[in-house]
Structures are given as C-alpha cells and as structure tokens.
Amino acid sequence: MRSRTIINLTFHGVGDAPESIGNDERDVWLSTDRFIEVLDVIKPVTWVRATFDDGNKSDIETALPALISRGMRASFFVCAGRIGRSGYLDAADLRTLVKHGMRVGLHGMDHVSWRSLDKSRLDREIHDAQRMIASACGAPVREAACPFGAYDRRVLAFLRVGGMERVFTSDRGPARQGAWLQARNTIRRSDDTDAITLTARDRGFSIVRTARRLAKRWR
C-alpha cells in the first residue's frame, strides 16, 4: 500500500518565554494568539501532524486545552533531565497528556546534540532518558525527536536498539506517514510558512491552496 505524504509541524513554547529559556530556543516561541490561529487552520487538514518539543510548561497550560477543545492529537517530546524543573512539565503533567490521548516521546536527557557523543553519553541521552520519561508518564516511549534535528547513523542505531517506532528530525519537507524517519518543519516566530508552501507542492492544488492560505494568514 502506498504510504500517504504528510507534513509534520514542530511547535515549541507558546506565550512569553520564561527568563530561563536560552536564545537558541527563544526564536521558536509563538505568541498564544498566533499559535491558536495556526491550530485553527490545521485542524481540518488531515495531512498535517502537530508535534511539540522541549517539554515547556506551556504544553500543558496552553497547548493541551487548545488541542482538547478542537479534538486534536499531538506528540510531545520532552527532555528527561528537565522533568519537574521550573518552567517545564512535571510527571503529573506528562500523565495528564497521556490521559488525554497525546503521545509523550523522547527529546534526550539534557537537550544536547546527539551527534558526536561517545557511547556512554549516547546511552544516557537515549536509553536512560527513554526509561525515565516512560516511568514519569506511565506509558511506553516509542517516538523520539532529535534535539536540534541533529543525527547520524550511530544515533539512529541507538534509537533502533531502544525500540523506537518513529524518529522525528527537523529536516523540513514532507514525510511518508508510515516511515520510521520523519522530517518535520519547525514553526518559528519569524516564519511565513514558506516551508509548508514549498513542501506541499507535490500534494496537488487543494493542498497548495491551503498552504497559501496559511502563509497569508501568518504574514
């Protein structure tokens, strides 16, 4: 059977970024209004999948209620080393996400690039963190999102050993729905959704039209 082409979107924090958020993550925080606007646009679009990185507290305070009220599902990728820290999701939050049908996945231990790490660091970032997140959320962790979108063959091998069923990158462009490795498109506060417009080309007129509408609204 031919696997469907989809567009994965990556959200991060929503609202005002707390002081503790570094410059590398600040650019990807969206205002609440804009986030809600984006959700309303993608809600009826079956070929767009929403993911959230970094485990910010806004996942539970803003994103979850907005998703629930629209009947939408999403995947949330969290760092094990941040669980329960100020500004980030705690174990109770993770269980709440799972209870509402959201997936909780791995985004590492300390939010570092997984490329070029030695074996013991990779073990900690991938396998130890996967166990900690599963224990915190009370559900198996079978999806991963590479921090900073960085990966190589060794990283992918570690993820396979951990039994990951789906691995998300930040490579931009479309993805095959059933593929193990999934490209994603990060939504930045400065974006006009060029990525979606470009990558939606091969999905035909109606999709391009939807993408153009998205781009227009986000200007």
Q: Which is nearer to Zn ion, 54 or 191 (CB)?
A: 54
Q: Is 53 in the site for Zn ion (CB under 5 A)?
A: yes
Q: Which is nearer to Zn ion, 27 or 194 (CB)?
A: 27
Q: How far apart are CA 100 and CA 152, in angstroms?
A: 33
Q: Is 59 in the site for Zn ion (CB under 5 A)?
A: no
Q: Is 125 in the site for Zn ion (CB under 5 A)?
A: no
Question: Computed from CA positions of residues 30, 33, 37, 42, in that sequence, does the dihedral angle turn out positive or negative?
Answer: positive
Residues in a beta bridge with 174: none
In the chain the first and final C-alpha atoms are separated, in Å, by 38
Binding span for Zn ion by CB under 5 A among 26-34, 91-99, 141-149, 173-181: 141-149
Binding span for Zn ion by CB under 5 A among 49-57, 175-183, 189-197, 207-215: 49-57
Q: Which amino acid makes up residue 199?
A: T
Q: Which is nearer to Zn ion, 75 or 210 (CB)?
A: 75
Residue pair 27/46 in contact by the 8 Å Cβ criterion: no
* CB crowding 14-36: b at 16 or more within 10 Å, else e: bbebeeebeeebeebbbeeeebb
3-state secondary structure (DSSP) of residue 56:
strand
With vertex at residue 48, the alpha carbon angle to CA 45 and CA 89, rounded to the nearest 5 degrees, is 120
Q: Is 54 in the site for Zn ion (CB under 5 A)?
A: yes
Closest approach, Cβ 42 to Zn ion, in A, equals 21
Closest approach, Cβ 101 to Zn ion, in A, equals 23
Closest approach, Cβ 63 to Zn ion, in A, equals 15
Q: Which is nearer to Zn ion, 56 or 210 (CB)?
A: 56
Binding span for Zn ion by CB under 5 A among 47-55, 124-132, 134-142, 169-177: 47-55
Closest approach, Cβ 54 to Zn ion, in A, equals 4
Residue pair 129/79 in contact by the 8 Å Cβ criterion: yes
Residue pair 84/90 in contact by the 8 Å Cβ criterion: yes
Closest approach, Cβ 24 to Zn ion, in A, equals 9
Q: Which is nearer to Zn ion, 81 or 147 (CB)?
A: 147
Site for Zn ion in 146-175 (CB under 5 A): 147
Q: How far apart are CA 55 and CA 97, in angstroms?
A: 11
Instruction: Count interface residues toward Zn ion (CB under 5 A).
Output: 3
> What residue ranges bind Zn ion (CB under 5 A)?
53-54, 147
